[in-house]
Amino acid sequence: ARAVVRDVGRVMGMPYGFCDTLAKLVPFEVGMTLEKALAQDDELRRRYRNEAEVTQLVDNGRRLEGMPRNAGKHAGGLVIAPAPIAEFSPLYWEPGMTQAVTQFDKDDLEAIGLVKFDFLGLRTLTVIDWATRLVNEARQMRGDPPIDLESLTPDDPEVYRLICTGKTTALFQLESRGMQELIQRLQPDRFDELTALVALFRPGPLQSGMVDDFVNRKHGREPVASLHDQIESILEPTYGVILYQEQVMEIARELSGFSLGSADLLRRAMGKKKPEEMDRQRQAFIDGAKNRGIEESSAVRIFDLIEKFAGYGFNKSHSAAYALLSYQTAWLKQYYPAEFMSAALSADMEHTDKVVILIREAKSMGLNIKPPDINRGEFRFSVAQDGSILYGLGAIKGVGEKAIEDILKERAQTGGYQNLLSLCKRIDSQKVNKKTMEALIRSGALDSFGVDRAHLEYQLPQALDAADQQVSNASSGQNDMFGIPSVDEVVLTVPQGSEWTARKRLEMERHSLGFYLTRHPIEHHKSELRAIGAIRIAQTPHHSEKAVMLTGLIQDVRTFQNRKGEMAAFFRLDDGTGYADISISPALFAQTRSTLGAKGLILVRGTTGTDDRSGLLALKADGLWTLDGFRAERLAELNITLPNALDAQSAADELKSLLRNFTPGATDVVVHYKNAAGDSLSMRLGEQWRLRPEPELLDNLVNFVGEPAIKFGFRTANKRDQAGDTKAA
């Protein structure tokens, strides 16, 4: 439904932003249609009724919805035939394709006697390969033999202990929240159970009650029911639960005398779920069992279970292959955490959301993540000699792969870069342009030059001009003829007081990396947040129903519709000390919907509890604001203490010049200072000095008097705020 909105809007010539905003109003659910979306989303329905452009777009979309958009090709499907495939199936080619594609789908190909093989390209295999290389490079330097994952036996208790903690981020097949919850319930401690875990975590088993049976029987909370004495050994590894297709085949052979071929036909019939074929298999199964002396009632009962299993059967061979990769990634994470996390980060470095999760996980494991460094880093994430992870230069936004390759090639040939001039001189400015250099500066990749990032950015045009001039002079021979100084002799100038504020430094870092790496932005608002009464997640009691105010960054917003058809939401809050799961009621969602898209710090007030599934702190929110919005609405008084070392009059003049640009407003200002006699005095400024407490003002004041010299006084909440403050949000 979202795709048809964007496609139709594009063809109709509507602006991208308009179409994108409209598409995002369509709930993100499997099987969603525009008809359902109009019924569920009040905002979409309102715009459909009131805006002619929206009405036209949605109506056109409804006519096209469900029609084939384009021909699709299986990502890893390969068809093998005994003769040219054109003799069996019509083919087609798309522009730029290197191989023909069959016009028949999988079922039609099987019907004419061909077989489609799936060759899966797994990112995990790349992660394992890169991690193994990092490990073996380090081992080689120490004179140790290389590791060989293929020779591992999957029985290491330490690896299973790691898995059972549920700290499975970056582990193949085991890292989703739902899987982590199942792991903590099941507590797998051997490879058979790890294999079963992969097979169990699918919609069919989860919805059928099979998972509960398996978990309860494993822990002895429920007896293992025997279906028949002859098949106990077949079902013993899965606690009497029919979990795998291979078990069904063995049962058919043991009870009904099926051949391997007949048992495979039963397996295929289960997969296709065709009633007439299952009826034939049922009769063959019952007849075979009766011929082997088994009562018909027992045969019927067992086949009924097999037929029920048909909805969620899984190949054990497939599950075991995946479980082996899960084990190998867990083994690497347990014994070589820096190398493994470095490889995992490299494999996902184009996906900022994933990088954020992996960085958090690495830090929680005690690993040190160092900012990008042009003199030490590589294109991918790497491991330093002290065991810390060096940020990959290729993960910096706005820096292309070719530019990084040129920088690294030059560094390998002639050594590290001493300063900004050295870098500009040695790199072709056509390949590494000004925007690329700015991204490197803002990310911290040039911090090893020992110059403030703001100064580097100010000096950049000078350095680029000097380097270009030297290239021009060298090509014309002017350096030798007129003694023009070389680029190394050029002195770059820096204006006084041009350093970035801590807020700007972090924001620049976020723009170039996609997130805050070196510090959490909450660290720059400690005094203000204490005045508000916000507490840290790590200090918040989980189990008592306590009213608290939390602050942090919004992650993983999920909207949904309740039974009454009202929209509500969940999101995860990150404050640098931990995470909390926040629930937003329909009433609060309606008032603060725009706040859920905030990129900066937010404040959320509510009642604490514990999320039964994740084990995290849970909060039922009754108020939601951006920090800037809350401050603008509630900051009653700003207290500023002038440093004793400053002359009182000059300090007052400087303060006036800072405040003047942020009047008029509603926040009172109180100035604290010492007079010539050393007496401490306070002065409340007049109404003409009431301020608008904008972020830029606070940054300027911090630079002038320091963060400890600024105190905040906020108005207390009132009944109007119980459902959230739409103006602040």
CB 417 within 8 A of CB 426: yes
Q: Which two tokens stand for residue 668?
A: 């009172």
pLDDT computed for residue 75 by the predictor:
76
Question: Is the pLDDT score of 483 beyond 70?
Answer: no
pLDDT for position 707: 86
Instruction: Specify the DSSP element, H or E, that contains 583.
Output: strand 579-584
Structure tokens at 412: 């390998």
In tens, the pLDDT along 570-594 reads 999 989 888 889 999 999 999 999 8
Q: Is the dihedral of CA 411, 415, 421, 425 positive or negative?
A: negative
Q: What is the pLDDT of residue 552?
A: 94
Mean of all residue pLDDT scores within the chain: 88
Identify whether the C-beta of residue 446 lies closer than 8 Å to the C-beta of residue 508: no
Q: What's the 3-state SS for 510-579?
A: HHHHCCCCCCCHHHHHHHHHHHHCCECHHHCCCCCCCEEEEEEEEEEEEEEECCCCCEEEEEEEECCCCE
pLDDT band at residue 725, thresholds of 50, 70 and 90? very low
DSSP H/E element including 85: none
CATH 2.40.50.140 fits 521-627, yes or no: yes
What is the pairing mode between strands 389-390 and 369-370? parallel
Q: What is the mean pLDDT of residues 339-351?
A: 96
Give the pLDDT of residue 612. 64
Provide mean pLDDT across the span 32-42: 90
Domain edges within the chain: 2-64, 71-81+100-119, 203-313, 369-514, 521-627, 632-721
Residue 614: pLDDT above 70?
no
Q: How far apart are CA 486 and CA 424, in angstroms?
A: 13
pLDDT the model gives residue 502: 82
Least confident of 54-58, 268-272, 349-353, 606-610: 268-272
Q: Which CATH architecture has domain 2-64?
A: Orthogonal Bundle (1.10)
Q: What is the average pLDDT across 120-130? A: 93
Residue, of 570 and 598, whose pLDDT is higher: 570
pLDDT of residue 726: 40
Is a pLDDT exceeding 60 seen at residue 481? no
Instruction: Work out the average pLDDT over 183-194.
Output: 95
User: Would you state the structure tokens that stand for residue 600, as one six-digit string?
Assistant: 């900066």
Bridge partner list, 624: 604
- What percentage of the chain carries pLDDT values higher than 90? 56
pLDDT score recorded for residue 406: 94
- Condensed to tens digits (0 to 9), the pLDDT of residues 536-575 reads 998 887 767 889 999 999 988 999 888 888 899 999 998 9
Assign 220 a pLDDT band (cuts: 50, 70, 90): very high
Q: Is the pLDDT of residue 718 over 70?
A: no
In angstroms, the CA 99 to CA 96 distance is 9
The pLDDT tens digits for 435-471 are 999 999 999 999 999 999 999 999 999 999 888 887 7
Rounded to 10°, the helix 316-335/337-347 angle is 120
The encoded tokens of residue 321 equal 């292959």
pLDDT value of residue 207: 79
| Alpha-carbon distance values, 629 to 549, 592, 601, 603 (Å) | 15, 12, 10, 10
- Other CB atoms within 10 Å distance of the CB of residue 410: 16
The per-residue pLDDT for 666 is: 94
User: Which of 521 and 380 is assigned the larger pLDDT?
Assistant: 380
Residue pointed to by tokens 């308009």: 18
Indicate the DSSP class of residue 312. Answer: T
575/538 Cα distance (integer angstroms): 9
Residue 319 has pLDDT above 70, yes or no: yes
Q: Quick one: average pLDDT of 357-382? A: 94
Please give the average per-residue pLDDT across 299-315, as a whole number.
Answer: 83
How large a percentage of the chain has pLDDT more than 70?
93
Task: Answer yes or no: is pLDDT of 706 > 60.
Answer: yes
Helix 316-335 / helix 123-142 crossing angle, nearest 10 deg: 40
- What average pLDDT score do residues 1-29 get? 89
Q: Is 688 helix (H, G, I), strand (E, B) or coil?
A: helix
Does pLDDT of 345 surpass 90?
yes
E strand or H helix at 477: none
Nearest to 39 by CA among 49, 52, 50: 49
Other Cβ atoms less than 10 A from the Cβ of 523: the count is: 12
Query: What is the C-alpha to C-alpha distance for residues 507 and 521, in angstroms, rounded to an integer?
Result: 9
Strands 547-561 and 115-118: unpaired
Q: For residues 668-683, give the mean pLDDT.
A: 85
pLDDT digits 0-9 by tens, 201-217: 988 888 788 899 999 99
**Single pTM value for the model:** 0.76
Which pLDDT value is given to residue 582? 93
Query: CA-to-CA distance for 319 and 334, rounded, in angstroms?
Result: 22
In the block, tokens 């530019």 appear at: 403
Element (H, E) at 425: helix 420-426
Residue 7: other Cβ atoms inside 10 A: 16
Helix (H) or strand (E) holding 714: strand 710-714
pLDDT greater than 70 at residue 253: yes
> Is 145's pLDDT higher than 90?
yes
Is-contact 61 96, C-beta < 8 A? no
Higher pLDDT, 728 or 313: 313
